[in-house]
Every structure is written in C-alpha cells, then in structure tokens.
C-alpha cells in the first residue's frame, strides 16, 4: 500500500486543461446524480431544486479551479518535478473536497436553504462524499492508468530504438571499407555537430576549469550554486567533479555538441549514453550507462525528448 502511495501521479500541466478536466468531472457527477439519484436526491424534482443544484455545481467548479490555481502559485516549479505522488493527489483531493463543503455550506446559509450547524455539516459532507467518491475514484484511477500505459508504451518504443541504435558498430568489409554509424542522436540539418575530443567546463569566475572527453561524460546535476559532473575517469571508474557554476552556463558551453540534452531544470545528460527510457505515470526517466539511478525528465522537456528520440529512429532508416 505504501509503495503504491509513493508512485508518481500525473499532473495536468496547463491551467486550461485543468479547467476542462474540472468541468468534465463535475458534469459527470451531475449526470451520475441525475441517473442514479443517491439518497433520494432528485435534481429534476422541481425547477427551484434544479437551479439550486446547478448553482452548487458552478460553485464547486469555481472552488476546485481556484484550488488548482493556488496549487500552482504555492508550489511554483515544484509541480514540474517528479515529486507529485499518489499520496499527494489524495491529500489534494481531500483538501479540495473540504473547501467545496465549506463553500456549499456558506452558499446554503446565504441562500436560506438551511442554517448550517454541525449536524448539517457532517451529514452534508458524508452525503456529498458518498455521491462523489465513486466517480472521483473511477476518474483518478482512469487518469493514472491511462497516463501510465501511454508513457510505458512510448518508453518501450524509444528503448527499442536506442537498443537498435547502440547495436550498430563500425564494421570492416573484406575491402576494409567502413560502414558509417547512424547520425548522432541530436544532429539536425541546420545545426551541424562540432567534433571535439575534449570539452572544457569553466567555473563561474573563470578561475577554475575542468577538461574531460565528451564520451566520458554521463550527466551534470545542479547542486545549489555548484554543478556536479558525473564522468568516467582514465581508469573507467565513475567519478564526480564539483565546481562553482550554473547549469545554464554549462548548457551554453556544451551547445556545440550534439548529444547533450537538458532534460530537467537540474540535469543535463549525454544522450549517447542512454541505454533505456523508463515510463511512469508522470513521464519518463533516462537510464544511463554506468549510472544506477535513472535521471528524471521534466514535463516541459518531454516534447524535446520526443524529437530527439524520433531522430534516433530516422537515423536508422
């Protein structure tokens, strides 16, 4: 149970999509209540009852949407990370439900429907929860499984392309002619790759530099005001080098090289060393050669990753 609660859960990245999702869910609840009439609730019992129900739906939509907006303002870029779990989604759902109950209680008071007391709050909350728990649970499960399956399926396709790409090696024919390798992963016709045996990464004050072969680089990660470089040393042992700089500066120093990709606000990876793409409900992770822990890919960089992976496929055709 605990492992399931810690699994990544998809987050709707754009507020417009969030609004459409809220509207669709509340419409589903409206239809659900109209058809099944739980607790004897008959929306079409009278025109006044129908109008009250419609007003309650609109109020719920506004409150849930404000919760979604507040979540983005409060967490900022935090929602762009791979830290939104199933448990986070459940807590957020409970919070949204509670704020909707409070809003409807205030509405009931000012509309003169009833005087809200503890009995009204408790019974109203239980009835509202019983009415919405089935459609809410089904919707959340559908969203989780749909996103998870889509990402896993796409990750398997990309991993197959990578395996095929990495299996192609320079071979010698009887005439000793070389069979060329596929084009580098990140190469584009208008931005040619710059061949380079050594890359130099400079510190922010330009007083410190680090030289390394690009093929030895695995990934770079931001660490406060520093950048930590993960690479293979001359003995082929995975090593780390820490220097004061920013990931943006490192990205600019690597822009002439094809295979380095900013996959996250905190990570730059060497795409030539990616062995597998792993999909989860939130997106993708990159499994690099010699690196045990997969590197996360932020949602904002997923379209760029798709373009890079499509170049792998096209380079083999």
Instruction: Give pLDDT tens digits for 186-215.
Output: 444 444 555 568 889 998 888 889 999 998
Question: In this structure, are 210 and 300 located in the same domain?
Answer: yes
Q: Is residue 176 part of a domain?
A: no
Question: In this structure, are 245 and 136 located in the same domain?
Answer: no
Pick the last residue of a domain from 99, 124, 156: 156
Question: In this structure, are 97 and 227 located in the same domain?
Answer: no
Sign of the C-alpha dihedral computed for residues 104, 106, 111 and 114 taken in this order: positive
**Token match 């010698």: residue?**
172
Confidence (pTM) = 0.71
pLDDT at position 135 is 74
Question: In this structure, are 146 and 209 located in the same domain?
Answer: no
d(CA 89, CA 71): 11
In contact, 25 and 98? CB cutoff 8 Å: no
DSSP label at residue 184: P
Question: In this structure, are 19 and 149 located in the same domain?
Answer: yes
Rg (CA), the chain: 27
Helical packing angle, 47-75 and 15-36, nearest 10°: 150
Whichever domain contains 297, its CATH number is 2.40.50.1020
Pick the last residue of a domain from 156, 181, 207: 156
Question: In this structure, are 73 and 210 located in the same domain?
Answer: no
What percentage of the chain reaches a pLDDT higher than 90? 26
Question: In this structure, are 224 and 275 located in the same domain?
Answer: yes
Q: Is residue 32 part of a domain?
A: yes
The count of domains in the chain is: 2
* DSSP-assigned states of every residue in 70-130: HHHHHHGGGGGSS--BHHHHHHHHHHHHHHHHHHHHHHHHHTTS----HHHHHHHHHHHHH
Q: Is residue 170 part of a domain?
A: no
Question: In this structure, are 90 and 212 located in the same domain?
Answer: no
The residues near 170 (Cβ < 8 Å, ≥ 6 apart) are 178, 179, 180, 181
Q: Is residue 185 part of a domain?
A: no
Question: In this structure, are 20 and 148 located in the same domain?
Answer: yes
pLDDT at position 261 is 93
pLDDT at position 282 is 83
Domain holding 66, by residue range, is 2-156
Helical packing angle, 118-167 and 302-315, nearest 10°: 20
pLDDT at position 76 is 58
Q: Is residue 162 part of a domain?
A: no
Q: Is residue 192 part of a domain?
A: no
d(CA 128, CA 135): 12
Query: pLDDT truncated to tens, each residue of the chain (317 aa)?
Result: 677 788 777 777 678 888 888 888 888 888 888 887 777 777 888 888 888 888 989 999 999 999 988 887 776 544 555 567 788 888 888 888 889 888 988 888 888 776 656 776 677 777 777 777 777 777 778 888 888 899 999 999 999 888 887 776 334 434 433 334 444 554 444 445 555 688 899 988 888 899 999 989 999 999 888 999 999 988 889 999 999 999 999 999 998 888 899 999 899 999 989 999 999 888 899 999 889 999 999 888 888 898 888 776 665 55
E strands within 204-306?
209-212, 217-223, 226-232, 238-244, 260-264, 267-270, 274-279, 284-288, 295-297
Question: In this structure, are 122 and 7 located in the same domain?
Answer: yes
Q: Is residue 61 part of a domain?
A: yes
Pick the last residue of a domain from 138, 156, 174: 156
Question: In this structure, are 146 and 21 located in the same domain?
Answer: yes
- pLDDT tens-digit profile of 66-77? 998 888 777 654
Q: Is residue 179 part of a domain?
A: no
Distance in Å from the first CA to the final CA of the chain: 45
Q: What is the mean pLDDT of the chain?
A: 80
pLDDT at position 317 is 55
In contact, 298 and 263? CB cutoff 8 Å: yes
d(CA 232, CA 238): 4
Question: In this structure, are 142 and 46 located in the same domain?
Answer: yes
């Amino acid at each position: 149970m605990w492992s399931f609660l810690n699994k990544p859960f998809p987050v709707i990245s754009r507020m417009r999509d969030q609004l459409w999702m809220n509207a669709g869910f509340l419409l589903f609840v409206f239809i659900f209540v109209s058809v099944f009439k739980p607790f004897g609730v008959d929306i079409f019992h009278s025109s006044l009852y129908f109008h009250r129900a419609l007003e309650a739906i609109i109020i719920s939509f506004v409150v849930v949407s404000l919760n979604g907006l507040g979540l983005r303002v409060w967490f900022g870029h935090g929602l762009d990370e791979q830290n939104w779990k199933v448990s986070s989604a459940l807590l957020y759902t409970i919070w949204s439900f509670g704020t909707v109950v409070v809003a409807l209680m205030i509405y009931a008071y000012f509309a003169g429907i009833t005087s809200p007391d503890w009995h009204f709050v408790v019974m109203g909350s239980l009835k509202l929860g019983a009415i919405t728990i089935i459609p809410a649970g089904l919707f959340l499960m559908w969203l989780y499984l749909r996103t998870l399956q889509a990402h896993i399926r796409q990750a398997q396709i990309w991993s197959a392309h990578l395996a095929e790409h990495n299996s192609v090696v320079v071979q010698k024919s009887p005439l000793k002619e070389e069979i060329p390798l596929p084009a580098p992963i990140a190469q584009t016709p208008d931005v040619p790759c710059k061949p380079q045996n050594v890359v130099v990464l400079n510190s922010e004050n330009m007083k410190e530099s680090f030289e390394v072969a690009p093929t030895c680089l695995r990934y770079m990660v931001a660490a406060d005001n520093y950048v930590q470089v993960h690479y293979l040393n001359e003995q082929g042992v995975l090593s780390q080098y820490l220097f004061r700089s920013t990931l943006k500066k490192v990205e600019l120093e690597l822009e002439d090289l094809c295979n380095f990709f900013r996959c996250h606000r905190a990570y730059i990876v060497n795409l030539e060393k990616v062995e597998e793409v792993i999909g989860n409900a939130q997106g993708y992770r990159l499994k690099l050669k010699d690196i045990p822990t997969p590197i996360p890919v932020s949602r904002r960089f997923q379209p760029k990753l798709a373009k890079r992976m499509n170049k792998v496929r096209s380079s083999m055709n």
